[in-house]
Amino acid sequence: MLMYLNALFVGLLILSNILGVKLFSVGGFVLPAAVIVYVVTYLVTDVIGEVYGREAASKTVKAGFVTQVVAMLFILVAIALPSAPFFEQQAEFQSILGGSFRVMLASLASYLVSQHTDVAIFHKLKQKHGANKLWLRNNVSTMTSQLLDTVVFISIAFYGTVPMSALLAMIGTQYAFKWMVAIIDTPIAYALVKWGRKEQTNSTTMQPEANSFS
């Protein structure tokens, strides 16, 4: 299961960078499409940390950072490659996948701060409460880290380019959406943790049988 969770985590990160250029409106509030994807990454690291430990969660976060940097480099290379004479969508291709260096920097900075904070808070609460209250550490760690993610990203990406009132409105709107998602995904966290622990139990049970044939 750990392999699938890591693959899901990295895939969602890359997808969120691509979807970030699309803006959608709900009830008059404007949000980037990436928000519906990126919030799930906190759920994934919480599940990894709960089932496989803090070190595994930290390694996932570090691997995600490296993957994002590599992906951005390859995207920049793809944009820089000379277009074929019949390829007429270079401007659109660059607009969708390119982004700006400032936005890329904001994304990486907010990722490092928020994801490491999520792992740290989650495991401090686990040390305090033991195996109980998964809902508490899942929600508290996610809500806190997502607040940091939102503030750091929007501040770096848009400070000085939009009025302060608009900046604060963007932070408030995005965080409110992420906060709601954090509450909704709690039952999913319980289901995934149960699945992961069941898999670990089955692996432990089958290990002696495997050794008996060696």
pLDDT along the chain (214 residues), means of 10: 93 85 76 83 92 92 91 89 92 79 81 90 87 85 90 85 82 86 87 88 65 44
* Per-residue confidence (pLDDT) for residue 61, from 0 to 100: 92
CA 73 to CA 53: how far, in whole Å?
A: 31
Is 214 inside any structural domain?
A: no
Is 111 inside any structural domain?
A: yes
Radius of gyration of the chain (CA): 20
Asked if 139 and 163 count as a contact pair (C-beta separation under 8 A), the reply is no
* Per-residue confidence (pLDDT) for residue 45, from 0 to 100: 93
Within 8 A by CB and 6+ apart from 156, the residues are 102, 105, 106, 109, 110
* Per-residue confidence (pLDDT) for residue 25, from 0 to 100: 78
* Per-residue confidence (pLDDT) for residue 102, from 0 to 100: 76
Is 37 inside any structural domain?
A: yes
**Residues in the chain, total:** 214
Buried b (16+ CB within 10 A) or exposed e, 55-77: ebbbebbeebbeebeeebeebee
CA 60 to CA 43: how far, in whole Å?
A: 13
CA 192 to CA 187: how far, in whole Å?
A: 9
Hey, what are 109's tokens? Answer: 């900075």
Q: Which pTM value belongs to this model?
A: 0.83
Is 26 inside any structural domain?
A: yes
Buried b (16+ CB within 10 A) or exposed e, 103-130: bbebbbbbbbbbbbbbbbbbbebbeeee
* Per-residue confidence (pLDDT) for residue 8, from 0 to 100: 94
> CA nearest 126: which of 144, 147, 140, 112?
140
* Per-residue confidence (pLDDT) for residue 214, from 0 to 100: 39
* Per-residue confidence (pLDDT) for residue 212, from 0 to 100: 47
Helices (H), 20-89: 35-52, 54-80
Specify the number of domains making up the chain. 1
* Per-residue confidence (pLDDT) for residue 35, from 0 to 100: 82
Domain residues for 22?
2-82+89-201
Is 122 inside any structural domain?
A: yes
> CA nearest 137: which of 50, 33, 17?
50
* Per-residue confidence (pLDDT) for residue 202, from 0 to 100: 78
Is 207 inside any structural domain?
A: no
> CA nearest 138: which of 5, 45, 37?
45
Is 31 inside any structural domain?
A: yes
Is 212 inside any structural domain?
A: no
* Per-residue confidence (pLDDT) for residue 182, from 0 to 100: 80
